[in-house]
Amino acid sequence: MGIIKEMTNQETAIHLRAWVTQPHGLFAWPTDACGYDQHLKFVKHRNAHWQGDSDEELINFILTYAESLEQEEAL
């Protein structure tokens, strides 16, 4: 098995938008396929900012995070 390629912020944002459109298992993370650095970046963001409790709130949180990645890359 090969090493997971690190995605850019843009690639991760695209992946996250697609991820929220599909059902996933209980232990799936939206950034599982994005590479180690992107996954840790999301985990730190989630730990610092997540206060919701519903699936709808999580989807909105992920989409807002995806948008922030694109803004960060544009700087």
pLDDT at 2: 57
- Please report, for the chain, the start and end positions of each structural domain, with discontinuous segments joined by +: 9-20+31-74
pLDDT digits (tens, 9 = 90+) for 3-40: 668 999 999 999 999 999 999 988 999 999 999 999 99
Q: What is the pTM of this model?
A: 0.87
Closest of 61, 65, 66, 63 to residue 51, by C-alpha: 61
Q: Give the least confident one: 1-5, 40-44, 55-59, 62-66.
A: 1-5
Under the banding of pLDDT at 50, 70 and 90, the label for residue 60 is very high
Closest of 65, 11, 55, 63 to residue 33, by C-alpha: 11
Burial class (CB in 10 A: 0-12, 13-18, 19+), 20: middle
Count of residues for the chain? 75
